[in-house]
Chains A and B, each alone.
Chain A
Amino acid sequence: MTLDRRTVPTEAPEARTSEAGSATSDRTGRTAESGAAADGHPPARPDGPFPPAAALAATLAALAFAATLYAWLRGGGSIDLPWAPTLGLRLHFRLDALGALYALLATGIGAVVFLYSGRYLRLHLSHQGRPARDERSFYAFMLLFTVSMVGLATAQDLLLLFVFWDLTAIASYFLIGFDRHEAASWSGALMALLVTGITAVLLLVGSVMLFVAYGTFSLPEIIAEARPGPALTVAAALIALAGLAKSAQVPFHFWLPNAMAAPTPVSAYLHSAAMVAAGVLLIGRTYPLLQESELVLDGMLVVGLASMLAGGLIALTRERLKQVLAYSTVAQYGYMVALYGLGGAAGAAGGAFVVAAHALAKSALFMVSGAVTRASGGEERLGRLGGRWRTMPVVAGAGALAAAALAGLPLTAGFFKDELLFKAALEHGPVVTALVAAGPVLTLAYIGRFWGRIFLGSPKEAPTGPRSLATTLVAPIAVLALISLVFGLWTAPLESLAAEAGSVSLGGEPAGLSVAYHLDARATNLIALGVYTLGGLLLATYPRWLPVAQAFALVALRFGPERAYVSSLRQANRLSSALHRFEVRDLRRRVAAVLVPCGVLVTAGFLATPTLGQYEVGPLDGRDAPLAIVLALAAAAALAAMAPRSQLVLVLVLSSAGYSLAAVFALLGAPDVALVAVLVETLFALLFVAVFSLLPGGVLDREQSLSVPPSRRWRDPLIAVVSGLFALAVVWGTLSSPVPRGPRISERLIELAPAAHAQDVVTAILSDFRGLDTLAEATVLLIALAGVGGALSRARSS
């Protein structure tokens, strides 16, 4: 099972999204398993008092919201503390309009969602047979997310921004993996982390590029200094890419539908209103840099439009509630990205406005889907629902409001998000306008389908969930839907906040934003009317169009980026396994892995430097004849050591090589070394013989008669020859003069030896001048002794 999960990190997309999937039975199958793993704690109960953790979280978020609002109304403010002076990093936060907008969204929607989570999570846990204490980590990560989002919204330093950026990804990762026993959570969490985490590195690279260019990570300072140029374009493009991935834009969008494995409150908060918004926030925050490059703006426009259309089309075909909403989120963030891509005051301020309008509506809709699913015994397929308005009228009403807001119907804040889009698009000609208008048409159709198939018609199956929903599951939906309505009627607060936020994005230029109803035949109104008509038509006739959309969805899923992700993961694992088969596992090749590259590097060094006149033969006269003979003897003994079949002969040959070398040392005027060498060689010979005596007779000779495979018959000697040659090059090369110009330390040693009270200079060196070496050398012997003792005692016992 695990192996499958690793090599196949996600279920094949068509299987997961197939309409006849048996996810429900799968889910119940796993319930037992996860319940058994719960360490003997009793499973959570769906009823009982409101969970205190949720109450605490909601209170904290509400307080944070109030504090943010108060601070903003009092004119913002900023904190600026040193952080890491070495890199000039500062803990610099400022509550400007852009920061206030996102901080208010994060804390406000957070408070509402926490309230909703209290009851929802207990139902969720009890459905899975898990203990109530599992919810602690849920609230911890949700709160971590809220804090990170506020930090992200107000951070003015690029590295600080990056820290909070990744903190939101960490919170998201653990929340998607909340149901860690489910395969979908396993792969969905990994996917979200890989896509958002790896693209976050692009933000880091872009920031570092700006740091290298301008010497600071401080965003206001960079914006003040920035001059257009290729370096700025690349940095801006990298930062924009990170933002696009976080906002689930094509081609990075696929992580979002898979993130729906998280419990619904997470989807309602992180994956619709807040974390996904972080991408757009980053774009808004760095917009003064991004808009320096037409290329980046055009790229954003293209990506935004593509996301808008692809997301809308696929949303039309999805069967699971949260999948519809996830693809809708992809499409809706496409609006914002397209607005920023269109540029100018309308784009920057419009982007900010749409974020808020969308967040309210989408968060409410996710909570609707959660409430419906919980009230239907876990059913989350549109085809099995229907007629739910009878059992849950309040949810149906609030859902209708939220759907209307998403679809941009008048009297809701959503109306203006479409209007702003049209207005910005009109400046860019009819083609862009037409493409842009296609988005709302699709929105109207898919969200109408979503709402209608849940609440209208007749129930396909009798609801099996609780008869009535807890107030805390319904009220949050109503609150958000009503706020959406209020801002549709009383536009001033949102309008001014968005205008000021847009001005921040434009680097201080005022961004006029007029949001009001005009009952006249202006272009935006005409487009809106056209959109309603076409959208309504599409909604009425969508079964006829569905095959087209389904074909598109199928192609997109089968050949799209998600498939590329899945297959690249699979390929990476496969490549790794293939490579591992070539991994060296025997000592011979481990040794060769040192010798061969060493030979290559020595050759390279040899070829790269002048060698003429660097090598000298050295003086050799008749006096040296004995020395030459002993040296030749040592060499001959070493060569002979390669041949013997019997290990005892090998030891003898080895010893004779050692003794020959001792004679060499003696002839070179090193009697001390010669003596120790004799001693050491003798000890070696004894040790070898002692060890051999532990082994049964004949084993050594028998094993040595093993035949050598033909491939090795030439390779081993070849490597040995190569090693000998590079040793020759190195030793000859380094032992040849140039004799150093300065005084040699050995002359000083000879002079100073009497001062060390020794007749033998070598003794003086060992005992006094370099006594530290001798002490350490004795330590080596001591450790060797300890190791030998340990190894031998264990060898005997085994």
Chain B
Amino acid sequence: MTLLVSVVVAIVFGSGCYLLLKGDLFRVVAGTVLISNAAVLTLVGAGFTRGAAPIRPFPPGSEVSDPLVQALALTALIIGFGVTALLLTLAARVYASSRTVDLDQLSQIEATREDELEEAEA
């Protein structure tokens, strides 16, 4: 079970990283969503017990799932959502001002601006 969860985390995390390395704004945001999911899954997987939902009254005879990791996962999910939503709007704003989703073009713009800055100073 531990191995299974770990492998899935690794796959989700790796896919997220692959998307981060992609050349367009929105795939990068998608990658962040995946990595966030990987972290939340790790949190849930860090629980010590597995079983019924930790809601009273507990079903007799079965173990109760670790409630703490669930609380942490909830908090992390919502934080991840907030941050990623902000990232998405940032991406939209970048697109709106530069009219491209291609990050290579964006870094070109950045480099040009830096060079201009240097020339202006010199």
Contacts and interface: CB of A to CB of B under 8 A. Distances in A.
Chain A–chain B contact at Cβ < 8 A: yes
Contact of B67 (A664, A706, A750): A750
A587 B28 contact: yes
Contact of B89 (A587, A753, A787): A787
A669 B33 contact: no
Contacts of B104: 586
Number of chain B interface residues as a range? 35 or more
Contacts of A727: 9-10, 13-14, 38
A80 interface: no
Interface in B64-112: 64-71, 73-75, 77-86, 88-93, 95-97, 100-104, 106-107, 110-111
A704 B101 CA distance: 9
Given A618-B2, A784-B82, A746 B67 contact: yes
A788 B90 CA distance: 8
Nearest to A669: B65
Nearest to B14: A724
A37 B94 CA distance: 42
Contact of A684 (B33, B50, B54, B70): B33
B62 to A, nearest CB: 9
Contact of B13 (A669, A695, A723): A723
Contact of A591 (B20, B37, B51, B65): B20
A226 interface: no
A711 interface: no
Contact of A641 (B34, B95, B107): B34
Number of chain A interface residues as a range? 35 or more
A642 interface: yes
Nearest to B1: A618
A669 B1 contact: no
B92 A691 contact: yes
Nearest to A753: B56
A726 to B, nearest CB: 9
A73 interface: no
Interface centre among A592, A668, A671 (most CB of B within 10 A): A668
A703 B91 CA distance: 15
Given A732-B3, A732-B6, A587 B107 contact: yes
A631 B42 CA distance: 13
A731 B67 contact: no
Interface stretch (A116-124, A288-296, A632-640): A632-640
Dominant secondary structure of chain A at its interface with chain B: helix
Contacts of A736: 2
A665 B16 CA distance: 20
Contacts of B5: 618, 631, 731, 735
A47 interface: no
Contacts of B26: 647, 650, 688, 691-692, 700
Given A638-B12, A673-B70, A791 B92 contact: yes
A784 B15 contact: no
A483 interface: no
B4 A631 contact: yes
B99 to A, nearest CB: 8
Contacts of B90: 791
A669 B54 contact: yes
A517 B76 CA distance: 92
Nearest to A720: B18
A719 interface: yes
Contact of A688 (B8, B55, B88): B88
Contacts of B24: 700, 703-704
B27 to A, nearest CB: 7
Interface centre among A615, A688, A719, A746 (most CB of B within 10 A): A746
Contact of A765 (B71, B101, B107, B111): B71
Contacts of A700: 24, 26, 101
Interface string A563-607: 000000000000000000000011110011001000000000000
Given A638-B16, A664-B41, A669 B53 contact: yes
Contacts of B19: 641-642
A618 B8 CA distance: 14
B41 A784 contact: no
B7 to A, nearest CB: 6
A731 B42 CA distance: 7
Smallest CB-CB A-B distances: 6 pairs:
A724-B14, A669-B65, A618-B2, A728-B10, A784-B82, A720-B18
12 contacts: A618-B2, A624-B1, A638-B11, A665-B73, A673-B74, A677-B77, A704-B24, A749-B68, A753-B56, A762-B70, A784-B86, A788-B85
